[in-house]
Amino acid sequence: MDHAPPPALPEVCFIGRSNVGKSSLIRALFSLSPEVEVRVSKTPGHTKKMNFFKVGKYFTLVDMPGYGYRAPRDFVEMVEAYLQERRNLKRTFLLADGVLGLQKTDHIAVEMLEEFGIPYVMVLTKIDRASRGLLLNNVLKVQEFIKEKTQGCFPQLFLVSSVEFSGVHLLRTKGG
């Protein structure tokens, strides 16, 4: 948190497992905004610290390091401190893999958001890689999970592909 910019603008953060596609989705969302330059690595777990991207004079976007595989050692302390202390955090996007569905580590992230009373939006990524049947199965499971086990989750689930740009426009307009 020592390296975080002053909380002058509203903030939007993206959290999810390592290699779920956070940086790729951010790049897709802001593909029409050349002032937001997001680097995407082929290496899972490449983002080791919080990255803050100022989006014009409107808001700041925060790309969190991934949890699970290759997560930074101080991940929990860093993310908990950010989520609890940033009063200007206006929207949190929790990304889960559309092929794998919700994993145990995603459940832990949900518990943390719920415990801190932080409203969030659930996004299924990489939908271009899942067969229709698998994707439908995962969507139904996630929707049931949201309905049964969450209070702070926005009821609409967003499905996106950063490769094909499917759902990116809808997330851009309705998710925030």
pTM of the model: 0.89
Residue 33 exposure: Cα atoms within 13 Å on the Cβ side: 17
User: 37-76 burial, b if ≥16 CB within 10 A, otherwise e?
Assistant: ebeeeeeebebeebbebebeeebbbbbbbbbbeebbeebe
Superfamily of domain 11-174: P-loop containing nucleotide triphosphate hydrolases (3.40.50.300)
Query: Per-residue confidence of the chain (176 residues) as pLDDT tens digits?
Result: 667 888 889 999 999 998 899 988 988 988 876 666 555 555 554 556 888 888 878 889 898 888 876 666 777 788 888 999 999 999 999 999 999 999 999 998 999 999 999 999 999 999 999 999 999 999 999 999 999 999 999 999 999 999 999 999 999 887 76
Q: How is the chain split among helix, strand and coil, in percent rounded to 5?
A: 35, 20, 45
